Structure 1
């Protein structure tokens, strides 16, 4: 059973002040593209959760994209709950989201885990 890495797209994109606010969808697409290499290196399934203006980002081989209808955090919690029993890591710096998914058994890491080595 391979690990699933669920990425809080808004949180990771927002962790670096690189002008992402001018083009949220483009920033999410650039993150998605960097996650391909991360997924290959880790041998993990990567799920990128996007919301708001970033909705509609297309998946690519190695990275599944989930567009949240409402809150991205709520969608992440739903995904983690669906993965019950499967190794899962959530990438976010959001303390409340971390608490919610850790209660479901997920491990959490900060945005640097995917930004710094990708």
Structure 2
């Protein structure tokens, strides 16, 4: 099943390392640069009228990408350790606020199970890239 657009009024949490790693474009040579490019693509889709404008977008980064900084329309969360643990924490906190549907973008099956346990749903990187087209 594919979702045409992210559920409006909710929170979209992006597993930065997983999404960047889903496209073999040389990201491994510049992890921070690849994460910054993803952040900027997300920001472009979060501006008024863009497909992500109706959701809060959270990009979780880790490792060498931790210091990419934030940009308008995107909340960047730098994980001090395991990105997966941080994603579960952010998803659980968002689900607990009743702010609307919480969707995590990742292809990691184990992480999908963990976020489902805290009340979030998950879609794969391919779905996110379709939303960004």
Please name the residue that 1:105 is paired with.
Answer: 119
Cα distance in 2 for residues equivalent to 1:79 and 1:117: 22
Q: 1:32-83 deviations in whole A, cap 9, x for unaligned?
A: 0111133332311100000001011111111110000000000000001111
CA contact (8 A) 2:51 2:131 kept: no
* TM-score under structure 2 length normalisation: 0.84
Please name the residue that 1:80 is paired with.
Answer: 91
Which segments of 5 or more consecutive residues in structure 1 lack a partner in the other structure? none
* Greater than 4 Å deviation, 4+ residue runs: none
Cα distance in 2 for residues equivalent to 1:117 and 1:103: 25
| Aligned Cα root-mean-square deviation (Å) | 1.3
Match runs of 1:64-75 below 5 Å: 64-75=75-86
Where 1:57 maps in the other structure, the secondary structure is coil
Match runs of 1:1-118 below 5 Å: 2-39=9-46, 40-42=50-52, 43-83=54-94, 84=96, 85-86=98-99, 87-118=101-132
Which segments of 5 or more consecutive residues in structure 2 lack a partner in the other structure? 1-7
